[in-house]
Amino acid sequence: MVVELPREKILCEVKYRNNSHIPQTDAVVELCRDESAGITQAFLITKHLDDFGLTAHDTKVPIMKIPAIVFLYLLGKAEDEGQNGKM
């Protein structure tokens, strides 16, 4: 999934299962290596509430692993701020 905001382009890979590993050949990893893609942030969204941190991929844009509930909260917060003219 790609979330495009006025000043950001965010990639999201959703792995809602016990094993949330993504291979080096995954599209998210490839795009995070490509500076011309314009990616500003990348998330690996998981189902475990304690699943936080950076993945071990060597990319220009780090891939942050976060639980789905946290991602949805942050996305809603960004949308609210955008509608209120704060972004």
Which one has a higher pLDDT value, 34 or 74?
Answer: 34
Q: Mind listing the pLDDT tens digit for each residue in 5-54? A: 888 899 999 987 788 888 898 889 999 999 999 999 999 999 989 889 99
Question: In whole angstroms, how large is the CA radius of gyration of the chain?
Answer: 13
- The set of residues, in sequence order, having a beta carbon less than 8 Å from that of 7 and lying 6+ positions away, is 40, 87
Whether the per-residue pLDDT at 86 is higher than 60: the answer is no
Q: How many domains does the chain have?
A: 1
Range of the domain at 19: 2-83
Query: What was the pLDDT predicted at 29?
Result: 94
DSSP assignment of 39-77 equals --EEEEEES-TT--EE-S---SS-EEEEEHHHHHHHHHH
